[in-house]
A and B are shown apart, each in its own frame.
Chain A
C-alpha cells in the first residue's frame, strides 16, 4: 500500500499569509494526487487534482505542485474562509489512501 505523509500536522497563520502544506508518498505516484479541504461538520471539498489542476470554482489563490513522491499545496494569501483541514489523496493505485491531514488555524 502507498502511505501518504503530510506535514505539518497543524499550522497557525494570519489572514494574508502564504501557507504551504507538504505531502509525501511512500513510492512514486507520478501526478496522481488530489487535495481536499474539510471544514468542521462538513464533507470534504475537492480543490486540486492531477497534482496541479484547479477544480472549477476553486479560487486561484490555491495551487498545487509536485510529481513523483513530493507534493505541495500552497495558499498564496490566506483568507478567513480558508481555515480548515486539508488532506492529500493518492489516486495512483488501490487501496486509495489519504494523508493524515493538516489543520490550518488562526494565529
Chain B
C-alpha cells in the first residue's frame, strides 16, 4: 500500500525557516516524481514545487521561487521542502503528493502538515 507521511510543520515567525519532510513507502520511491501542494485556510489548492524521480530536475511556483528548495533522498525514501524567508501568505496545509508515472498529476497524497507563519 502506498503511503506518504508529512512532518515538520509548525508555527514560525515571518522571515524564519522551516523544513518539511515526507516519508514514502509502498512503492519504488526513486521511480516517481513527487510534488508539494499547499492549501491556505479556506482556500483552493496551489501547486508549490516538483522534483523528478532522480532529483535531477526541479520545478517551482513563481510565488516560492528563490525562497523554497525541494530535494529528495532516494536512499531514505524521503522528500523535503526547505522553506526560507517565510511570509504570512505561506500559511497553509502542505501536502506531499506522488505523481503518476509519466505525468504530473497526483495519484497519492499525504494527510498534510500545517505551517503557520505569524509573529
List A contacts of B100 (CB < 8 A): 49
Flag the segment in B13-21, B24-32, B57-65, B82-90 that touches A: B57-65
Interface of A is mostly: loop
CA distance A46 to B110 in the complex (A): 13
Contact with A along B30-61 (1 / 0, CB 8 A): 00000101000000111100100000000111
Contact with A along B95-119 (1 / 0, CB 8 A): 1000010011111011110000000
Contact with B along A75-101 (1 / 0, CB 8 A): 000000000000101010011111111
Check B103 against A50 for contact (C-beta < 8 Å).
Answer: yes
CA distance A95 to B44 in the complex (A): 16
Give chain B's interface residue range (CB within 8 Å of chain A). 20 to 34
**How many residue-residue contacts, CB under 8 A, span A and B?**
56
- Report how many residues on chain A are interfacial, defined by Cβ distance under 8 Å: 23
Please give the distance in Å from A87's CB to the nearest CB on chain B.
5
Check B110 against A95 for contact (C-beta < 8 Å).
Answer: no
CA distance A99 to B50 in the complex (A): 18
Check A55 against B106 for contact (C-beta < 8 Å).
Answer: no
Would you give 9 A-B contacts (Cβ < 8 Å), ordered by A?
Answer: A36-B106, A38-B45, A43-B95, A43-B110, A45-B109, A87-B44, A94-B50, A95-B61, A101-B45
